[in-house]
Structure 1
Protein backbone atom coordinates (compact mmCIF):
# COMPACT_ATOMS: atom_id res chain seq x y z
CA UNK A 1 0.00 0.00 0.00
CA UNK A 2 1.52 3.37 -0.99
CA UNK A 3 2.18 5.93 1.69
CA UNK A 4 -0.22 8.86 2.08
CA UNK A 5 1.41 12.09 0.87
CA UNK A 6 1.34 14.72 3.62
CA UNK A 7 0.82 18.42 2.96
CA UNK A 8 4.51 19.29 3.43
CA UNK A 9 5.52 16.61 0.93
CA UNK A 10 2.94 17.92 -1.49
CA UNK A 11 4.31 21.45 -1.13
CA UNK A 12 7.82 20.18 -1.70
CA UNK A 13 6.74 18.49 -4.92
CA UNK A 14 4.79 21.55 -6.07
CA UNK A 15 7.74 23.84 -5.46
CA UNK A 16 10.23 21.59 -7.19
CA UNK A 17 12.23 21.02 -4.02
CA UNK A 18 13.88 17.74 -3.08
CA UNK A 19 14.92 16.28 0.26
CA UNK A 20 18.37 14.62 0.15
CA UNK A 21 18.31 10.94 1.12
CA UNK A 22 20.92 9.74 3.69
CA UNK A 23 23.41 7.04 2.75
CA UNK A 24 23.35 3.77 4.69
CA UNK A 25 26.31 4.53 6.96
CA UNK A 26 25.56 8.21 7.58
CA UNK A 27 23.89 9.54 10.70
CA UNK A 28 20.71 11.58 10.16
CA UNK A 29 21.31 15.28 10.74
CA UNK A 30 18.21 17.26 11.78
CA UNK A 31 17.53 20.16 9.46
CA UNK A 32 14.75 22.62 8.68
CA UNK A 33 13.12 22.45 5.30
CA UNK A 34 13.22 25.92 3.76
CA UNK A 35 10.10 26.65 1.76
CA UNK A 36 9.93 29.59 -0.61
CA UNK A 37 7.00 31.62 0.78
CA UNK A 38 6.65 33.77 -2.34
CA UNK A 39 6.57 30.71 -4.57
CA UNK A 40 4.00 29.01 -2.36
CA UNK A 41 1.79 32.10 -2.54
CA UNK A 42 2.03 32.08 -6.33
CA UNK A 43 0.96 28.43 -6.30
CA UNK A 44 -1.98 29.42 -4.11
CA UNK A 45 -3.02 32.26 -6.39
CA UNK A 46 -2.86 29.90 -9.36
CA UNK A 47 -5.15 27.47 -7.58
CA UNK A 48 -7.50 30.31 -6.66
CA UNK A 49 -7.69 31.32 -10.32
CA UNK A 50 -8.56 27.74 -11.29
CA UNK A 51 -11.23 27.64 -8.57
CA UNK A 52 -12.75 30.90 -9.79
CA UNK A 53 -12.88 29.57 -13.36
CA UNK A 54 -14.58 26.37 -12.20
CA UNK A 55 -17.06 28.40 -10.19
CA UNK A 56 -18.05 30.28 -13.33
CA UNK A 57 -19.30 26.95 -14.68
CA UNK A 58 -21.08 26.06 -11.41
CA UNK A 59 -18.45 23.39 -10.64
CA UNK A 60 -18.40 24.20 -6.95
CA UNK A 61 -17.43 20.73 -5.72
CA UNK A 62 -14.30 20.87 -7.89
CA UNK A 63 -13.58 24.50 -7.06
CA UNK A 64 -13.78 24.17 -3.27
CA UNK A 65 -10.73 21.90 -2.68
CA UNK A 66 -8.58 24.20 -4.82
CA UNK A 67 -9.79 27.27 -2.95
CA UNK A 68 -9.19 25.60 0.41
CA UNK A 69 -5.60 24.72 -0.53
CA UNK A 70 -5.13 28.21 -1.96
CA UNK A 71 -6.09 29.71 1.40
CA UNK A 72 -3.37 27.60 3.06
CA UNK A 73 -0.73 28.58 0.51
CA UNK A 74 -1.69 32.27 0.47
CA UNK A 75 -3.14 32.82 3.96
CA UNK A 76 -2.60 36.60 3.92
CA UNK A 77 -4.44 37.21 0.67
CA UNK A 78 -7.93 38.55 1.41
CA UNK A 79 -9.16 37.81 -2.14
CA UNK A 80 -8.44 34.10 -1.70
CA UNK A 81 -10.44 34.00 1.53
CA UNK A 82 -13.22 35.97 -0.13
CA UNK A 83 -13.31 33.43 -2.97
CA UNK A 84 -13.39 30.53 -0.50
CA UNK A 85 -16.18 32.17 1.48
CA UNK A 86 -18.15 32.77 -1.69
CA UNK A 87 -17.81 29.14 -2.76
CA UNK A 88 -18.98 27.93 0.65
CA UNK A 89 -21.90 30.34 0.36
CA UNK A 90 -22.84 28.94 -3.06
CA UNK A 91 -22.62 25.43 -1.62
CA UNK A 92 -24.89 26.39 1.34
CA UNK A 93 -22.10 25.67 3.84
CA UNK A 94 -22.98 28.82 5.74
CA UNK A 95 -20.88 28.48 8.90
CA UNK A 96 -17.78 27.72 6.83
CA UNK A 97 -18.64 30.65 4.57
CA UNK A 98 -18.91 33.06 7.50
CA UNK A 99 -15.56 31.89 8.95
CA UNK A 100 -13.76 32.39 5.62
CA UNK A 101 -15.42 35.73 4.94
CA UNK A 102 -14.55 37.03 8.41
CA UNK A 103 -10.94 36.09 7.72
CA UNK A 104 -11.12 38.12 4.50
CA UNK A 105 -12.70 40.97 6.44
CA UNK A 106 -9.91 40.96 9.02
CA UNK A 107 -7.31 41.17 6.24
CA UNK A 108 -9.13 43.90 4.34
CA UNK A 109 -11.89 45.71 6.29
CA UNK A 110 -12.42 48.12 3.38
CA UNK A 111 -13.80 45.53 0.95
CA UNK A 112 -17.52 46.24 0.71
CA UNK A 113 -18.18 43.06 -1.26
CA UNK A 114 -17.03 40.97 1.71
CA UNK A 115 -19.56 42.79 3.92
CA UNK A 116 -22.32 42.11 1.38
CA UNK A 117 -21.36 38.42 1.22
CA UNK A 118 -21.46 38.16 5.03
CA UNK A 119 -24.90 39.74 4.92
CA UNK A 120 -26.03 37.12 2.42
CA UNK A 121 -24.71 34.28 4.59
CA UNK A 122 -26.57 35.57 7.66
CA UNK A 123 -29.68 36.24 5.55
CA UNK A 124 -29.70 32.57 4.51
CA UNK A 125 -29.42 31.66 8.18
CA UNK A 126 -32.56 33.79 8.68
CA UNK A 127 -30.65 36.18 10.95
CA UNK A 128 -32.12 39.18 9.19
CA UNK A 129 -31.09 41.86 11.68
CA UNK A 130 -27.46 40.73 11.58
CA UNK A 131 -27.66 40.52 7.78
CA UNK A 132 -28.99 44.09 7.61
CA UNK A 133 -26.06 45.29 9.73
CA UNK A 134 -23.52 43.80 7.31
CA UNK A 135 -25.38 45.16 4.29
CA UNK A 136 -25.27 48.61 5.91
CA UNK A 137 -21.53 48.25 6.51
CA UNK A 138 -21.09 47.31 2.87
CA UNK A 139 -23.11 50.33 1.77
CA UNK A 140 -20.95 52.59 3.93
CA UNK A 141 -18.09 51.49 1.68
CA UNK A 142 -20.07 51.26 -1.58
CA UNK A 143 -23.07 53.59 -1.13
CA UNK A 144 -24.21 53.47 -4.76
CA UNK A 145 -24.30 49.68 -5.09
CA UNK A 146 -27.77 48.69 -6.42
CA UNK A 147 -27.48 45.04 -5.37
CA UNK A 148 -26.39 46.01 -1.86
CA UNK A 149 -29.36 48.35 -1.55
CA UNK A 150 -31.65 45.62 -2.88
CA UNK A 151 -30.28 43.11 -0.36
CA UNK A 152 -30.76 45.56 2.50
CA UNK A 153 -34.33 46.08 1.30
CA UNK A 154 -34.90 42.33 1.45
CA UNK A 155 -33.51 42.15 5.00
CA UNK A 156 -35.90 44.94 6.05
CA UNK A 157 -38.76 43.16 4.25
CA UNK A 158 -38.13 39.98 6.24
CA UNK A 159 -38.28 42.03 9.45
CA UNK A 160 -41.63 43.46 8.27
CA UNK A 161 -40.11 46.92 7.93
CA UNK A 162 -41.91 47.53 4.66
CA UNK A 163 -41.49 51.34 4.46
CA UNK A 164 -37.73 50.93 5.00
CA UNK A 165 -37.62 48.16 2.39
CA UNK A 166 -39.42 50.38 -0.13
CA UNK A 167 -36.85 53.14 0.37
CA UNK A 168 -33.96 50.77 -0.35
CA UNK A 169 -35.60 49.25 -3.44
CA UNK A 170 -36.28 52.71 -4.86
CA UNK A 171 -32.70 53.78 -4.14
CA UNK A 172 -31.45 50.69 -5.98
CA UNK A 173 -33.52 51.65 -9.04
CA UNK A 174 -32.29 55.25 -8.86
CA UNK A 175 -28.75 53.95 -9.40
CA UNK A 176 -29.75 51.35 -12.01
CA UNK A 177 -32.91 52.14 -13.95
CA UNK A 178 -32.94 48.60 -15.44
CA UNK A 179 -32.69 46.77 -12.10
CA UNK A 180 -35.96 44.91 -12.49
CA UNK A 181 -35.71 42.71 -9.32
CA UNK A 182 -36.01 45.85 -7.17
CA UNK A 183 -38.92 47.11 -9.30
CA UNK A 184 -40.56 43.70 -8.91
CA UNK A 185 -40.22 43.84 -5.12
CA UNK A 186 -41.74 47.31 -4.98
CA UNK A 187 -44.74 45.67 -6.65
CA UNK A 188 -44.80 42.94 -3.99
CA UNK A 189 -45.04 45.53 -1.22
CA UNK A 190 -47.65 47.67 -2.99
CA UNK A 191 -49.84 44.61 -3.55
CA UNK A 192 -49.76 43.72 0.14
CA UNK A 193 -50.65 47.32 0.97
CA UNK A 194 -53.71 47.11 -1.27
CA UNK A 195 -52.35 49.29 -4.09
CA UNK A 196 -53.14 46.79 -6.83
CA UNK A 197 -52.88 49.26 -9.70
CA UNK A 198 -49.53 50.52 -8.40
CA UNK A 199 -48.25 46.94 -8.19
CA UNK A 200 -49.43 46.21 -11.74
CA UNK A 201 -47.50 49.24 -13.01
CA UNK A 202 -44.31 48.03 -11.33
CA UNK A 203 -44.64 44.52 -12.76
CA UNK A 204 -45.40 45.86 -16.22
CA UNK A 205 -42.21 47.89 -16.05
CA UNK A 206 -40.21 44.86 -14.87
CA UNK A 207 -41.58 42.63 -17.65
CA UNK A 208 -40.81 45.36 -20.17
CA UNK A 209 -37.17 45.27 -19.08
CA UNK A 210 -36.81 41.48 -18.93
CA UNK A 211 -39.35 39.51 -20.94
CA UNK A 212 -37.99 36.15 -19.73
CA UNK A 213 -38.40 37.02 -16.04
CA UNK A 214 -41.03 34.57 -14.80
CA UNK A 215 -41.61 36.23 -11.42
CA UNK A 216 -43.00 39.65 -12.44
CA UNK A 217 -44.86 38.02 -15.34
CA UNK A 218 -46.70 35.62 -13.02
CA UNK A 219 -47.36 38.35 -10.44
CA UNK A 220 -48.78 40.57 -13.18
CA UNK A 221 -50.97 37.71 -14.41
CA UNK A 222 -52.35 37.09 -10.91
CA UNK A 223 -53.08 40.79 -10.37
CA UNK A 224 -54.80 41.18 -13.75
CA UNK A 225 -56.88 38.04 -13.14
CA UNK A 226 -57.99 39.40 -9.76
CA UNK A 227 -59.10 42.58 -11.56
CA UNK A 228 -61.17 40.60 -14.07
CA UNK A 229 -58.85 40.62 -17.11
CA UNK A 230 -58.96 36.85 -17.28
CA UNK A 231 -57.99 36.18 -20.90
CA UNK A 232 -54.79 38.23 -20.87
CA UNK A 233 -53.95 37.01 -17.36
CA UNK A 234 -54.24 33.35 -18.35
CA UNK A 235 -51.91 33.80 -21.35
CA UNK A 236 -49.34 35.58 -19.18
CA UNK A 237 -49.57 32.96 -16.44
CA UNK A 238 -49.09 30.12 -18.90
CA UNK A 239 -46.03 31.86 -20.34
CA UNK A 240 -44.59 32.42 -16.84
CA UNK A 241 -44.80 28.79 -15.70
CA UNK A 242 -43.38 27.64 -19.04
CA UNK A 243 -40.37 29.91 -18.49
CA UNK A 244 -39.77 28.64 -14.95
CA UNK A 245 -42.09 26.10 -13.35
CA UNK A 246 -40.66 26.77 -9.88
CA UNK A 247 -42.96 29.79 -9.74
CA UNK A 248 -45.92 27.42 -9.63
CA UNK A 249 -44.71 26.33 -6.17
CA UNK A 250 -46.20 28.44 -3.36
CA UNK A 251 -43.34 27.60 -1.00
CA UNK A 252 -40.85 28.85 -3.58
CA UNK A 253 -42.87 32.05 -3.97
CA UNK A 254 -42.90 32.55 -0.21
CA UNK A 255 -39.10 32.20 -0.16
CA UNK A 256 -39.04 34.94 -2.80
CA UNK A 257 -40.91 37.32 -0.47
CA UNK A 258 -44.43 36.95 -1.88
CA UNK A 259 -46.80 38.17 0.80
CA UNK A 260 -49.98 36.67 2.23
CA UNK A 261 -52.44 38.52 -0.03
CA UNK A 262 -50.54 37.75 -3.23
CA UNK A 263 -50.00 34.11 -2.24
CA UNK A 264 -53.71 33.68 -1.57
CA UNK A 265 -54.64 35.06 -5.00
CA UNK A 266 -51.85 33.06 -6.66
CA UNK A 267 -53.07 29.80 -5.12
CA UNK A 268 -56.46 30.26 -6.81
CA UNK A 269 -54.83 31.30 -10.07
CA UNK A 270 -52.51 28.27 -10.21
CA UNK A 271 -55.50 25.95 -9.77
CA UNK A 272 -57.06 27.16 -13.04
CA UNK A 273 -57.29 24.38 -15.66
CA UNK A 274 -55.38 26.48 -18.19
CA UNK A 275 -52.41 26.90 -15.85
CA UNK A 276 -52.46 23.24 -14.85
CA UNK A 277 -52.47 22.31 -18.55
CA UNK A 278 -49.40 24.49 -19.18
CA UNK A 279 -47.59 22.82 -16.29
CA UNK A 280 -48.52 19.39 -17.60
CA UNK A 281 -47.20 20.25 -21.06
CA UNK A 282 -43.92 21.35 -19.52
CA UNK A 283 -43.54 18.08 -17.63
CA UNK A 284 -44.26 15.79 -20.59
CA UNK A 285 -41.00 16.40 -22.57
CA UNK A 286 -39.00 15.78 -19.39
CA UNK A 287 -40.83 12.49 -18.70
CA UNK A 288 -40.42 11.42 -22.33
CA UNK A 289 -36.67 12.09 -22.18
CA UNK A 290 -36.38 10.08 -18.97
CA UNK A 291 -38.22 7.11 -20.45
CA UNK A 292 -36.09 7.22 -23.58
CA UNK A 293 -32.91 7.22 -21.53
CA UNK A 294 -34.05 4.15 -19.60
CA UNK A 295 -34.89 2.15 -22.73
CA UNK A 296 -32.35 -0.68 -23.25
CA UNK A 297 -30.33 -0.44 -26.45
Structure 2
Protein backbone atom coordinates (compact mmCIF):
# COMPACT_ATOMS: atom_id res chain seq x y z
CA UNK A 1 0.00 0.00 0.00
CA UNK A 2 2.87 2.36 0.80
CA UNK A 3 4.47 1.76 -2.58
CA UNK A 4 1.12 2.31 -4.30
CA UNK A 5 0.78 5.67 -2.55
CA UNK A 6 4.33 6.60 -3.56
CA UNK A 7 3.65 5.79 -7.18
CA UNK A 8 0.33 7.63 -7.12
CA UNK A 9 2.04 10.68 -5.72
CA UNK A 10 4.72 10.54 -8.40
CA UNK A 11 2.12 10.26 -11.14
CA UNK A 12 0.20 13.23 -9.75
CA UNK A 13 3.26 15.47 -9.59
CA UNK A 14 4.62 14.45 -12.97
CA UNK A 15 1.31 15.24 -14.58
CA UNK A 16 0.56 11.76 -15.81
CA UNK A 17 -2.99 12.19 -14.52
CA UNK A 18 -3.42 15.50 -16.30
CA UNK A 19 -7.08 15.26 -17.21
CA UNK A 20 -9.60 17.41 -15.30
CA UNK A 21 -12.86 15.58 -14.58
CA UNK A 22 -15.96 17.75 -14.36
CA UNK A 23 -16.71 18.83 -10.82
CA UNK A 24 -19.94 17.63 -9.27
CA UNK A 25 -21.37 18.98 -6.07
CA UNK A 26 -22.14 15.54 -4.73
CA UNK A 27 -18.71 14.06 -5.56
CA UNK A 28 -15.71 14.06 -3.23
CA UNK A 29 -12.48 15.48 -4.66
CA UNK A 30 -9.62 12.94 -4.64
CA UNK A 31 -7.07 13.46 -1.88
CA UNK A 32 -3.78 14.81 -3.21
CA UNK A 33 -0.95 14.78 -0.69
CA UNK A 34 1.38 17.76 -0.47
CA UNK A 35 4.81 16.67 -1.62
CA UNK A 36 8.11 18.36 -0.97
CA UNK A 37 11.67 17.76 -2.14
CA UNK A 38 12.41 15.60 0.89
CA UNK A 39 9.89 13.08 -0.44
CA UNK A 40 11.60 12.93 -3.84
CA UNK A 41 15.03 12.69 -2.24
CA UNK A 42 13.90 9.78 -0.09
CA UNK A 43 12.34 7.96 -3.01
CA UNK A 44 15.38 8.71 -5.15
CA UNK A 45 17.64 7.23 -2.48
CA UNK A 46 15.61 4.03 -2.53
CA UNK A 47 15.94 3.87 -6.30
CA UNK A 48 19.71 4.22 -5.99
CA UNK A 49 19.84 1.38 -3.50
CA UNK A 50 17.79 -0.74 -5.90
CA UNK A 51 20.17 0.16 -8.73
CA UNK A 52 23.21 -0.86 -6.70
CA UNK A 53 21.55 -4.15 -5.77
CA UNK A 54 20.81 -4.85 -9.43
CA UNK A 55 24.47 -4.42 -10.38
CA UNK A 56 25.31 -7.34 -8.13
CA UNK A 57 23.21 -9.48 -10.45
CA UNK A 58 24.75 -7.77 -13.52
CA UNK A 59 21.38 -6.26 -14.44
CA UNK A 60 23.03 -3.07 -15.63
CA UNK A 61 20.25 -1.84 -17.90
CA UNK A 62 17.66 -2.08 -15.14
CA UNK A 63 20.08 -0.43 -12.74
CA UNK A 64 20.70 2.43 -15.16
CA UNK A 65 16.96 2.99 -15.60
CA UNK A 66 16.49 3.39 -11.85
CA UNK A 67 19.48 5.69 -11.55
CA UNK A 68 18.12 7.89 -14.34
CA UNK A 69 14.80 8.21 -12.52
CA UNK A 70 16.65 9.05 -9.31
CA UNK A 71 18.42 11.86 -11.17
CA UNK A 72 15.08 13.23 -12.34
CA UNK A 73 13.74 13.18 -8.79
CA UNK A 74 16.84 14.70 -7.14
CA UNK A 75 18.83 16.60 -9.78
CA UNK A 76 20.33 18.87 -7.10
CA UNK A 77 22.12 16.00 -5.33
CA UNK A 78 25.43 14.64 -6.56
CA UNK A 79 24.79 11.03 -5.48
CA UNK A 80 22.29 10.13 -8.23
CA UNK A 81 24.57 11.62 -10.88
CA UNK A 82 27.53 9.77 -9.41
CA UNK A 83 25.76 6.42 -9.41
CA UNK A 84 24.30 7.02 -12.87
CA UNK A 85 27.69 7.94 -14.33
CA UNK A 86 29.36 4.91 -12.82
CA UNK A 87 26.63 2.60 -14.12
CA UNK A 88 26.71 4.15 -17.60
CA UNK A 89 30.45 3.48 -17.73
CA UNK A 90 29.92 -0.13 -16.64
CA UNK A 91 27.25 -0.44 -19.31
CA UNK A 92 29.76 0.86 -21.87
CA UNK A 93 27.86 4.12 -22.43
CA UNK A 94 31.08 6.08 -22.02
CA UNK A 95 30.04 9.53 -23.22
CA UNK A 96 26.87 9.55 -21.12
CA UNK A 97 28.83 8.28 -18.16
CA UNK A 98 31.36 11.09 -18.43
CA UNK A 99 28.58 13.68 -18.70
CA UNK A 100 26.85 12.38 -15.58
CA UNK A 101 30.09 12.31 -13.61
CA UNK A 102 30.92 15.83 -14.74
CA UNK A 103 27.59 16.96 -13.30
CA UNK A 104 28.33 15.09 -10.07
CA UNK A 105 31.66 16.93 -9.88
CA UNK A 106 29.93 20.28 -10.45
CA UNK A 107 27.59 19.56 -7.55
CA UNK A 108 30.28 18.12 -5.28
CA UNK A 109 33.76 19.28 -6.37
CA UNK A 110 35.35 18.09 -3.12
CA UNK A 111 34.17 14.48 -3.27
CA UNK A 112 37.24 12.35 -3.93
CA UNK A 113 35.22 9.33 -5.11
CA UNK A 114 33.58 11.42 -7.81
CA UNK A 115 36.97 12.64 -9.03
CA UNK A 116 38.40 9.13 -9.04
CA UNK A 117 35.46 7.80 -11.07
CA UNK A 118 35.64 10.70 -13.48
CA UNK A 119 39.36 10.14 -13.93
CA UNK A 120 38.77 6.47 -14.61
CA UNK A 121 36.06 7.30 -17.16
CA UNK A 122 38.38 9.72 -18.95
CA UNK A 123 40.95 6.91 -19.12
CA UNK A 124 38.43 4.62 -20.77
CA UNK A 125 37.65 7.15 -23.52
CA UNK A 126 41.36 7.72 -24.11
CA UNK A 127 41.65 11.20 -22.57
CA UNK A 128 44.69 10.40 -20.44
CA UNK A 129 45.63 13.99 -19.62
CA UNK A 130 42.19 14.60 -18.10
CA UNK A 131 42.42 11.26 -16.34
CA UNK A 132 45.64 12.31 -14.64
CA UNK A 133 44.18 15.68 -13.68
CA UNK A 134 41.06 14.28 -12.04
CA UNK A 135 42.77 11.41 -10.22
CA UNK A 136 45.49 13.68 -8.86
CA UNK A 137 42.81 16.11 -7.65
CA UNK A 138 41.07 13.22 -5.90
CA UNK A 139 44.29 12.06 -4.26
CA UNK A 140 44.77 15.51 -2.76
CA UNK A 141 41.50 14.91 -0.92
CA UNK A 142 42.12 11.26 -0.09
CA UNK A 143 45.63 9.89 -0.47
CA UNK A 144 44.91 6.47 1.01
CA UNK A 145 43.40 4.70 -2.00
CA UNK A 146 45.85 2.23 -3.63
CA UNK A 147 43.51 1.58 -6.58
CA UNK A 148 43.58 5.28 -7.48
CA UNK A 149 47.37 5.38 -7.49
CA UNK A 150 47.24 2.32 -9.73
CA UNK A 151 44.80 4.08 -12.09
CA UNK A 152 47.04 7.15 -12.07
CA UNK A 153 50.02 4.98 -12.97
CA UNK A 154 48.08 3.51 -15.90
CA UNK A 155 47.23 6.97 -17.20
CA UNK A 156 50.86 8.08 -16.96
CA UNK A 157 51.90 4.86 -18.67
CA UNK A 158 49.56 5.59 -21.60
CA UNK A 159 51.16 9.02 -21.84
CA UNK A 160 54.62 7.34 -21.97
CA UNK A 161 55.56 9.13 -18.75
CA UNK A 162 57.30 6.06 -17.41
CA UNK A 163 58.96 7.54 -14.33
CA UNK A 164 55.67 9.01 -13.12
CA UNK A 165 53.91 5.73 -13.84
CA UNK A 166 56.36 3.68 -11.79
CA UNK A 167 56.22 6.19 -8.92
CA UNK A 168 52.43 5.92 -8.85
CA UNK A 169 52.51 2.11 -8.87
CA UNK A 170 55.03 2.17 -6.02
CA UNK A 171 52.70 4.37 -3.96
CA UNK A 172 49.93 1.85 -4.53
CA UNK A 173 52.23 -0.93 -3.33
CA UNK A 174 53.25 1.07 -0.27
CA UNK A 175 49.61 1.30 0.77
CA UNK A 176 48.88 -2.31 -0.15
CA UNK A 177 52.03 -4.47 -0.35
CA UNK A 178 50.11 -7.46 -1.76
CA UNK A 179 48.68 -5.42 -4.65
CA UNK A 180 50.26 -7.58 -7.35
CA UNK A 181 48.76 -5.72 -10.38
CA UNK A 182 50.88 -2.68 -9.49
CA UNK A 183 54.04 -4.81 -9.42
CA UNK A 184 52.98 -6.47 -12.67
CA UNK A 185 52.52 -3.12 -14.39
CA UNK A 186 55.91 -1.90 -13.24
CA UNK A 187 57.21 -4.86 -15.24
CA UNK A 188 55.21 -3.70 -18.27
CA UNK A 189 56.80 -0.26 -18.04
CA UNK A 190 60.28 -1.68 -17.57
CA UNK A 191 59.91 -3.88 -20.63
CA UNK A 192 59.00 -0.88 -22.78
CA UNK A 193 62.11 0.85 -21.40
CA UNK A 194 64.22 -2.06 -22.63
CA UNK A 195 64.91 -3.32 -19.10
CA UNK A 196 63.93 -6.90 -19.76
CA UNK A 197 65.71 -8.49 -16.80
CA UNK A 198 64.20 -5.95 -14.40
CA UNK A 199 60.78 -6.60 -15.90
CA UNK A 200 61.15 -10.33 -15.36
CA UNK A 201 62.16 -9.68 -11.76
CA UNK A 202 59.04 -7.56 -11.23
CA UNK A 203 56.80 -10.24 -12.73
CA UNK A 204 58.39 -12.88 -10.52
CA UNK A 205 57.65 -10.70 -7.48
CA UNK A 206 54.02 -10.50 -8.61
CA UNK A 207 53.88 -14.30 -8.83
CA UNK A 208 55.29 -14.64 -5.32
CA UNK A 209 52.13 -12.87 -4.16
CA UNK A 210 49.82 -14.96 -6.35
CA UNK A 211 51.40 -17.79 -8.30
CA UNK A 212 48.18 -18.50 -10.21
CA UNK A 213 48.13 -15.29 -12.24
CA UNK A 214 48.29 -15.83 -15.99
CA UNK A 215 49.46 -12.34 -16.97
CA UNK A 216 52.86 -12.21 -15.26
CA UNK A 217 53.39 -15.88 -16.14
CA UNK A 218 52.89 -15.20 -19.85
CA UNK A 219 54.97 -12.02 -19.70
CA UNK A 220 57.90 -13.95 -18.24
CA UNK A 221 57.43 -16.58 -20.94
CA UNK A 222 57.69 -13.94 -23.66
CA UNK A 223 60.82 -12.42 -22.13
CA UNK A 224 62.53 -15.79 -21.79
CA UNK A 225 61.58 -16.77 -25.32
CA UNK A 226 63.13 -13.70 -26.95
CA UNK A 227 66.23 -14.12 -24.76
CA UNK A 228 66.82 -17.51 -26.33
CA UNK A 229 65.35 -19.68 -23.57
CA UNK A 230 62.71 -20.95 -25.92
CA UNK A 231 61.74 -24.26 -24.31
CA UNK A 232 61.29 -22.67 -20.89
CA UNK A 233 59.33 -19.83 -22.48
CA UNK A 234 57.05 -22.23 -24.35
CA UNK A 235 56.30 -24.26 -21.23
CA UNK A 236 55.46 -21.15 -19.24
CA UNK A 237 53.28 -19.82 -22.05
CA UNK A 238 51.35 -23.08 -22.18
CA UNK A 239 50.81 -22.87 -18.43
CA UNK A 240 49.62 -19.27 -18.66
CA UNK A 241 47.19 -19.95 -21.49
CA UNK A 242 45.69 -22.86 -19.60
CA UNK A 243 45.19 -20.58 -16.59
CA UNK A 244 43.32 -18.00 -18.64
CA UNK A 245 42.76 -18.39 -22.38
CA UNK A 246 41.93 -14.71 -22.76
CA UNK A 247 45.66 -14.02 -22.79
CA UNK A 248 45.90 -15.89 -26.07
CA UNK A 249 44.24 -12.93 -27.80
CA UNK A 250 46.39 -9.97 -28.79
CA UNK A 251 43.49 -7.54 -28.40
CA UNK A 252 43.03 -8.64 -24.80
CA UNK A 253 46.71 -8.02 -24.12
CA UNK A 254 46.39 -4.49 -25.54
CA UNK A 255 43.43 -3.84 -23.28
CA UNK A 256 45.62 -4.91 -20.36
CA UNK A 257 48.24 -2.27 -21.26
CA UNK A 258 50.81 -4.50 -22.91
CA UNK A 259 53.10 -2.10 -24.77
CA UNK A 260 54.35 -2.24 -28.35
CA UNK A 261 57.65 -3.96 -27.55
CA UNK A 262 56.05 -6.65 -25.45
CA UNK A 263 53.31 -7.23 -28.00
CA UNK A 264 55.86 -7.56 -30.81
CA UNK A 265 57.76 -10.18 -28.85
CA UNK A 266 54.53 -11.94 -27.88
CA UNK A 267 53.68 -12.39 -31.56
CA UNK A 268 57.03 -14.14 -32.01
CA UNK A 269 56.20 -16.56 -29.23
CA UNK A 270 52.66 -17.15 -30.48
CA UNK A 271 54.01 -17.94 -33.95
CA UNK A 272 55.94 -20.92 -32.61
CA UNK A 273 54.40 -24.18 -33.88
CA UNK A 274 54.26 -25.54 -30.33
CA UNK A 275 52.23 -22.58 -29.13
CA UNK A 276 50.23 -21.54 -32.19
CA UNK A 277 47.72 -24.42 -32.12
CA UNK A 278 47.03 -23.75 -28.44
CA UNK A 279 46.53 -20.03 -29.04
CA UNK A 280 44.28 -20.64 -32.05
CA UNK A 281 42.29 -23.27 -30.18
CA UNK A 282 41.76 -21.07 -27.14
CA UNK A 283 40.85 -18.04 -29.26
CA UNK A 284 38.39 -20.08 -31.31
CA UNK A 285 36.76 -21.44 -28.18
CA UNK A 286 36.42 -17.93 -26.82
CA UNK A 287 34.62 -16.78 -29.96
CA UNK A 288 32.30 -19.78 -29.92
CA UNK A 289 31.44 -19.20 -26.25
Q: Same fold (TM over 0.5)?
A: yes
Aligned to 1:150: 150
Distance 1:61 1:271 in 2: 41
Distance 1:14 1:179 in 2: 50
Q: Structure 1 residue 24: deviation in Å? A: 5.0
Aligned to 2:204: 204
* Uncovered stretches (5+) of structure 1, i.e. residues with no partner: 1-7, 291-297
Distance 1:219 1:286 in 2: 21
Aligned positions of 1:125-164 closer than 5 A: 125-164=125-164
Task: Tell me which moved more, 182-191 or 273-282.
Answer: 273-282
Aligned to 1:118: 118
Task: Tell me which moved more, 238-247 or 218-227.
Answer: 238-247
Residue by residue, what CA displacement relative to the aligned partner does 1:220-244 show, whole Å, maximum 9, x if unpaired?
Answer: 1111222333333222211222333
Given the alignment of the two structures, is residue 12 of structure 1 paired with residue 6 of structure 2, yes or no? no
Does the 8 A contact of 1:222 with 1:233 survive in 2? yes
Distance 2:284 2:166 in 1: 40
Aligned to 1:51: 51
Distance 1:183 1:62 in 2: 37
Aligned positions of 1:55-94 closer than 5 A: 55-94=55-94
Aligned to 1:107: 107
Residue by residue, what CA displacement relative to the aligned partner does 1:158-189 show, whole Å, maximum 9, x if unpaired?
Answer: 11111111111111111111111111111011
Distance 1:223 1:167 in 2: 23
Aligned to 2:4: none
Q: The residue matched to 1:49 in structure 2 has which SS?
A: helix
Aligned to 1:177: 177
Task: Tell me which moved more, 150-159 or 102-111.
Answer: 102-111
Distance 2:284 2:117 in 1: 39
Q: Structure 1 residue 284: deviation in Å? A: 7.6
Distance 1:284 1:99 in 2: 37
TM-score of the superposed pair, with normalisation by structure 2: 0.85
Aligned to 2:246: 246
Instruction: Give the superposed CA RMSD.
Output: 3.1
TM-score of the superposed pair, with normalisation by structure 1: 0.82
CA shift in 2, pair 1:281/1:10, >3 Å: farther
Q: Structure 1 residue 9: deviation in Å? A: 6.3
* Uncovered stretches (5+) of structure 2, i.e. residues with no partner: 1-6
Does the 8 A contact of 1:203 with 1:216 survive in 2? yes
Q: Structure 1 residue 47: deviation in Å? A: 1.1
Residue by residue, what CA displacement relative to the aligned partner does 1:78-104 show, whole Å, maximum 9, x if unpaired?
Answer: 222211110011122222112211222
Task: Tell me which moved more, 231-240 or 164-173.
Answer: 231-240
Distance 1:195 1:99 in 2: 40
Distance 1:244 1:206 in 2: 16
Number of residue pairs matched? 279
CA shift in 2, pair 1:13/1:52, >3 Å: farther
Q: Structure 1 residue 256: deviation in Å? A: 2.4
Distance 2:25 2:12 in 1: 27
Does the 8 A contact of 2:245 with 2:283 survive in 1? no
Q: The residue matched to 1:274 in structure 2 has which SS?
A: coil
Distance 1:56 1:135 in 2: 26
Distance 2:37 2:259 in 1: 54
